[in-house]
Amino acid sequence: MASLSGLIQCRTPSPKALILDTTSAATRTSKKISIFPASSSSVFPIPLRSTRSRAPVVSQLERKESSNTARASVADASVNVSLEDPELPKGETWSVHKFGGTCVGNSQRIKNVASIVINDDTERKLVVVSAMSKVTDMMYDLIQKAQSRDDSYVFALDNVQEKHRSTALDLLEGPDLTSFLSHLDSDINNLKAMLRAIYIAGHATESFTDFVVGHGELWSAQMLSSIIRKDGVDCKWMDTREVLIVNPTNSNQADPDFSESEKRLEKWYSQNPSKLIIATGFIASTPQNIPTTLKRDGSDFSAAIMGALLKARQVTIWTDVDGVYSADPRKVGEAVILKTLSYQEAWEMSYFGANVLHPRTIIPVMRYNIPILIRNIFNLSSPGTKICHPSVVDEEDSPKVESYVKGFATIDNLALVNVEGTGMAGVPGTASAIFGAVKDVGANVIMISQASSEHSVCFAVPEKEVKAVADALKARFSRALDAGRLSQVAVISNCSILAAVGQKMASTPGVSATLFNALAKANINVRAIAQGCSEYNITVVVEREDCIRALRAVHSRFYLSRTTIAMGIIGPGLIGSTLLEQLRDQASVLKEDFNIDLRVMGITGSRRMLLSEVGVDLSSWREFLSEKGEVADLEKFVQHIQRNDTVPNTVLVDCTADSNVASCYKHWLRKGIHVITPNKKANSGPLDQYMKLRALQRQSYTHYFYEATVGAGLPIISTLRGLLETGDKILKIEGIFSGTLSYIFNNFIGKRPFSEVVAEAKEAGYTEPDPRDDLSGTDVARKVIILARECGLKLELADIPVESLVPEPLRASESAEEFMEKLPKFDKEMTGKLQDAEDAGQVLRYVGVVDVANHRGVVEMQKYSKDHPFAQLSGSDNIIAFTTTRYRDQPLIVRGPGAGAQVTAGGIFSDILRLASYLGAPS
């Protein structure tokens, strides 16, 4: 394809290079900028437009022969400031403001900017403005259309003109309006000619593109300066192409020449002295005076460079957010505004994709310790985020205890490339060869992780570049692969990077441990890790689908947001419904006082289930379950609870007594779902299944809590574990474990027959619908098995002898009613046993015993003296005595209500809060 200059060369009669003519009305000094060196070939003129007057391209062509050849070009113009010229003051008297495209998006917003600038009481101000919102994209689109030979570029340019024309009509009047519209029309005519040339060539050079796209800043700067002058404030506007000199290093970067830029700034100020300067962002010139840009986010960079040149006291970046967030607020709703950041923290967060600043923006201001302030133009009451020297950060943060991790950032759409092989170990230059091949294909390496032996080198690149990288590496190491010295060049797709950033991480032990612990407890698998010795950041690679959950998990763990748990309630019966009521009543307190957000994402019974994407309204869950519930499907229910990637932690609460539900625990724990339950079936079921369940729990970071399986709301399991974990040896556990049987024997004192007391307990709701379930002793036997296994005894339920209180002839009764009707016939036997006890000065109690010393357990009715603790109970209280090596002479006793929906639900609730504490909630 022919070059643009070549095509135009065939159509331009003049043999000379066209020179761009710009004239400064303030100095009456003409400056000529040649886009390309003069040669025998002719090139299309690119008018580098002056700040004061311009002429259309045609006019320049007509008068180029008669122009004053003595006029100096910018390249030849002297930058020495005359002794009579005002000297540029530098230092604390200057403040720099930068307003982004959204800040000047329409006429009203431009007025708001003018108001902010005028009301700033700094002695001297330099204001950097971007193009109006979307204009830069529109200008790039013009280039794309023109070089694609799409005729619609003409109409697109008309839209650009109309956008600025209508804005000017809203803002300006009189001579200011006339002047701006004249300049706008001139610029549009020049752009039409330029785009026509690009259209003919089918190609746009980088210089031509930069020249076209930079016009938006010129127009917004002119309009802002005009409206400020309209309010009676003197100001000048600066085309920064006359001042900022940069050396483009590649298509995405340009390095400022501070020495030359400083000379040109002093020259410009000597001719345009003012305490208020409106400067264009984004655009600059090369040392050869060719228009260029500072690339994307270039206006921020412009402001930082100007701040450094002026040695300003502060650079304020005005945008549409309240400041720098601790994490992307679109991914973490509880993300907070950070009051301060060090330069290094801001640098790291911006590198890893946080909406802070481009890393290069920070470099110029770091040199002079100039603070950068991020402010929201739409919320002036917000103080914003200050980016400054670490000592300033420490001073400002000292009154407040703050997390050592300042924030988190993520990068999506990455792939890992893993190069490994035994032949790499100890071979000098291996890493150099790997990354040389990556450089040759122009790929961007985001992160590197390498074993010390060089056996494995792993690095992350954008997913769109990974195929080219893998192909280049396979070609580069083809012999090593064939010989087996290199085992593989593997690609792991669909990855994301999560980076934790913090200045104080370097001096704080345990930050990495806390980070990885939070990820593990959220069941997040880490594919690669990288951490610099400065420890400003810790970087991990996770699967893309886990990225948001990972971000939320670590953000919550470092106390930057609430510990949020997605819950599924299985079994909304008496206990389950009571738990839901307790959760409803405590929800606001937990959020405000304890930073815990418990969200019930689903409720399921045996027939119907209710699913929610945001959390069930617990004030009316019964109505929703009845009206909007669907057919119960436990597998679908579990998938729904877990798949919510906005909540990192998931727990299923089984409030049933169903063995089928209990059989699912192992599967749920393996999937990273925590389990809390009062259901005894899992821990008292087949021993081999129990052992597998506990082994899985110990090997993983998922939690399995079952305090309510033994003592309802009493701390029986936790007390036993505390004794064992502190080295005590359990000798015997003996107790009244059934609230039902406790009530019955506390009231069976000889005045009434046994059957009457049982009937009273049933009427009061202490028994199961069929009292045989309580009187059989099976429930107590399950509790004995659970405690025996906690003590390390490998017993089956069948190994526990149980004394049943159900008379043998009544065990086969067809119904509870029939059983209760026939029970009085057997009162005589129970009355006799009671009389024997009373004759001996004792009482009857139904107990469970774990005899650890003799590796056995038993459930039976026993006699106790009337001064024994077991004889002092009332109501449905439970009591458990731990006899240990420490508590041999006087057992450790736990006593309290051991039955009832309220206390059992309370025990479950306590386990939920214990889980929240383990997951990071403050204790």
Tokens read off for 676: 């809390």
Cα 238 vs. chain centroid, distance in angstroms? 40
H and E: helices and strands count for the chain: 33, 32
Of 611, 613, 635, the closest CA to residue 625 belongs to 611
Helix or strand run (H / E) with residue 609: strand 608-611
Specify whether 439 is catalytic.
no
Helix (H, G, I), strand (E, B) or coil at 744: helix
What lies within 8 Å, CB to CB, of 625 at 6+ separation is 572, 603, 605, 608, 609, 610
Alpha-carbon gap, residue 857 to 790, rounded angstroms: 13
Residues contacting 373, CB < 8 A, separation 6+: 314, 315, 316, 317, 384, 385, 386, 387
- Active-site residue, selected from the candidate residues 783, 822, 863, 866: 783
Rounded-to-integer distance, Cα 910 and Cα 678, Å: 12
Residues 342, 347, 349, 354, CA torsion sign = positive
Q: How many residues are recorded in the chain?
A: 923
Nearest-CA neighbor of 829 among 770, 754, 771, 744? 754
Question: Could you give the count of Cα atoms lying within 13 Å of 33 in the half-sphere of its Cβ?
Answer: 21
Comparing CA positions, the residue from 234, 219, 214, 239 lying closest to residue 179 is 219
- Burial-class residue 482 by CB neighbours within 10 Å (0-12, 13-18, 19+): exposed
Residues forming beta bridges with residue 851, ordered by sequence position = 732, 856
Nearest Cα to Cα of residue 190 among 6, 45, 43: 45
Q: In 632-759, which ranges are E strands?
A: 649-654, 674-676, 704-705, 730-736
Distance CA 184, CA 463 (A): 43
Give strand pairing partners of 462. 414
CB 898 within 8 A of CB 904: no
What residues are annotated to the active site? 783
